[in-house]
Structure 1
Amino acid sequence: MNKLIYIAPVIFLMACISGSPPSKSVVNPDNIQSMILNKVPLQIIDVRDSDRFKKGHIYGAVSISRSDLENHSTDIYGMRIEKEDFQSLIQGLGFTDKDSIYLYDAKANSEAARLWWLFKYYGFEKVAIIDGGFLKWRINRFKEEAGDFTRAPKSEFTLAKENNEELLATKEDISNGVYDQIIDARSVEEYSGDVIKNGAMRPGHIPNAVNFDYWNLIKDNEFTLKNAEEIKSLLMEKGISTDKKTVIYCHSGVRSALMTLALRDLLGLKDVANYDGSWVEWSSDEALPAEVSTKQTHN
């Protein structure tokens, strides 16, 4: 059984900056393994479903599923959880606002990045993803355990009063031309309209959006993020500027959250926001324009 334990901010900072790529929001898994073996207190969240978590997870982790992070009172699939509910969710894990928190999943950290984005948007800063997630962790044969986790008593974890609004984009922002550049982080098949994923009401993409599949951020066979220079070069190949006010979207704000993290923390860009509703919300509003380029098929 897992035991919830605590980490000092200085250890959090050292772990994040000592790995590669350097970032306050990306930590090298070697550092996490070392701290686990040295019995350094850690707070780790596994962002997979509970069944997969129980079959095996990073030692000491607790579990939150993607559905836990969604607002189920809206008709738009995948919209962010309300702040009060999110605070209560983290309190239920026994975490405090003095803790530093590490996140991972088994999807190249796209869902972990969604949780990172929520923490950041709601004003909590001491959070990072474990580079490569659980896939890289297993490749390295680092310490695991199986079974459920033991919940600590509910804490008084408190989010900041003010949200970090620069991280959030809305459909109104995009429609009103707030952003100089729109990046579509989905696959080329989704972007073109050849594939329509569940939840979307129409094929295609937001007009003037540039397609950059988020998977281009990931190193093949390692599942870790590429370094800043590699990412910047790939963006340039697509004609994407690093100097423009930018909004990123995908299907439901998950893959785009990872790209938001990469651009803001690895490349150091500040004018980058994640469109929470993404294509699910945009495609549901018939008043909003959409572009397609080829024949559409449903999946």
Structure 2
Amino acid sequence: MICRSNLSIILGLLFFSCTQTKEKNKEDITPIIASETKTYFSTKHLLDVDELHSLFEKERIKIVDFRKPEVYEKSHIQGAINIWRSDIEDISYPYKGMMATKEHIEALFSSLGIKNEDTLVLYDDQGACDAARLWWVLKNYDFESVKLLNGGLEAWKKIGGPINDEPVVLTPSEFTLPANSSFKLWIGKEEILEIVSSEGKEIILDTRNMDEFSGKRQKNGAQKAGRIPKSILIDWAEAIDYQGTQKFKPFHQLETIYSRMNASKHDLVITYCHSGVRSAHTTFVLTELLGYKNVKNYDGSWVEWSYFDDLPFKQDSITIIKK
């Protein structure tokens, strides 16, 4: 009787130990799996090519090819209209690349037949870098019905999406942006100068490449080479799977890349590049895909900053001017 009781106790302890070990292993593995499969913070402004294929030719969808006109004319997604950087630029400045006025955007969209109730699907062939600039402009004017096509033209081709070189017949409309503009993702040089001169925790994120950041390379449009003081560098292109899908990298990879900022999701992060295009892309990644709450893109970026001789800058290398 005693032996049978002892045997029962021993078997019970072994079962309990195995169960605990399994549960512990499950607890150890779960966070790893979760980190690898977690989806983006938001996909409100992101569209997969398969989703576009199912929505194709819907009345309230306007596809926008955001590439140079001469490239668009050779081939584009069937039915896409064309907009390029110069179409959304304010030319009243002595330097290029500044965001167009609300009135300018309204007139442009009206001429292209875009209606207030339309959803815009934006694409390019540069990892959404160019298209993200238009997304950023529209976000500042509080127009929310806009999505970036993940993977762009290359991803569309891979699923056999229709492409042609036919011009689109445009019927003018009366497009209007919301009455009040929040400029929620915008920041100007005066505010940045205050931050550069302070001892605050704000992050100034240069999204160009290392040659531009160091001052080795000076791109056309800039008056000098270098960077804004206190800047740290994360090249915008790190966010894209250029060797594979041409799409945004998965959440956990993006988290790892931007953890190099050593910033919380609530810290102020100011992005900039040469003319506010690549930094608009990084602004999309940080706010939409990763959930950072306080990100501002410097509209004028290095083109504007380098124009003013009284603004401070840093430079590490001998400059090679690139046209």
TM-score, normalised relative to structure 2:
0.82
Partner secondary structure for residue 166 of structure 1: coil
For residue 265 of structure 1, report the CA deviation from its aligned partner: 0.6
Which residue of 2 is the match for residue 131 of structure 1?
Answer: 150
Aligned to 1:183: 205
Deviation of the 1:35 alpha carbon: 2.2
- Of stretches 125-134 and 223-232 in structure 1, the one that deviates more from structure 2 is 223-232
8 Å contact kept, 2:222–2:302: yes
2:28 paired residue number: none
Check conservation: 1:227, 1:266, Cα contact below 8 A. no
Contact 1:63–1:149 (CA under 8 A) maintained in structure 2? no
- Corresponding residue for residue 264 of structure 1: 287
Partners of 1:207 and 1:213 lie apart in 2 by 17
In 2, the alpha carbon distance for the partners of 1:130 and 1:66 equals: 18
**Paired residue secondary structure (1:111):** helix
Residue 10 (structure 1) aligns with: none
Q: 2:226 aligns with which of 197, 204, 208?
A: 204
For the Cα contact (< 8 Å) 1:99–1:126, is it kept in 2? yes
Q: Answer with 174-183 or 44-53: which moved more.
A: 174-183
Q: Which moved more, 1:169-178 or 1:248-257?
A: 169-178
Gaps of 5+ in 1: 1-19
Deviations 1:200-232 (A, max 9, x none): 111111011110100001012321111222111
Alignment of 1:1-299 (within 5 A): 23-36=43-56, 39-41=57-59, 42-152=61-171, 154-177=172-195, 180-220=202-242, 221-299=244-322
Aligned residue identity for 2:87: D
| Alpha-carbon distance in 1 for matches of 2:136, 2:64 | 14
* Cα distance in structure 2, aligned partners of 1:285 and 1:210: 21
Evaluate the alpha carbon distance shift between residue 179 and residue 74 of structure 1 in structure 2; reply closer, same or farther with a 3 A threshold: farther
Shift of 1:164: 2.1
RMSD over aligned Cα, in angstroms? Answer: 1.6
Which amino acid in the other structure matches residue 272 of structure 2? Y
Say whether the 8 Å CA contact 1:45–1:104 is kept in structure 2.
yes
| Cα pair distance change 1:130/1:231, threshold 3 Å | same
Q: What amino acid is the match of 2:150?
A: D
Q: Which amino acid aligns with 1:216?
A: E
Give distance in 2, aligned partners of 1:82 and 1:199.
Answer: 21
Give yes or no for contact 2:207–2:234 (8 Å, CA) kept in 1: yes
**Contact 2:139 / 2:184 at 8 angstroms: preserved in 1?**
no
Cα deviation, 1:268-294, whole Å, max 9, x if unaligned, reads 112001100000000111111111122
Which secondary structure does the structure 2 equivalent of 1:55 belong to? Answer: coil
Q: What stretches of structure 1 move > 6 A for 4+ residues in a row?
A: none
* Residues 214 and 227, structure 2, Cα contact 8 Å, conserved in 1: yes
Deviates more, 1:113-122 or 1:233-242: 233-242
Q: For the Cα contact (< 8 Å) 2:133–2:276, is it kept in 1?
A: yes
Code of the residue aligned with 1:24 in structure 2: it is K
- Conservation of the 8 A alpha-carbon contact between 2:215 and 2:317: yes
Cα deviation, residue 179, structure 1: 7.4
Letter in 2 for 1:209: S
For residues 103 and 179 of structure 1, the distance between their equivalents in structure 2, rounded to whole angstroms, comes to: 34
Task: Encode CA deviations 1:157-199: one digit per residue, 9 max, x unaligned.
Answer: 1101211222101000101128711100001110011100001
- Structure with higher helix content: 2
Superposition TM-score, scaled by structure 1 size = 0.88
Alignment length (residue pairs)? 277
Question: What residue is the counterpart of 1:15 in the other structure?
Answer: none
Query: Alpha-carbon deviation of 1:240?
Result: 4.8
Task: Identify which range, 124-133 or 47-56, moves more after superposition.
Answer: 47-56
Letter of the 2:145 partner, please give it: K
The answer (yes or no) to whether the contact 2:266–2:293 under 8 Å persists in 1 is no
Q: Which moved more, 1:92-101 or 1:244-253?
A: 92-101
* Conserved 8 A contact 2:110-2:174: yes
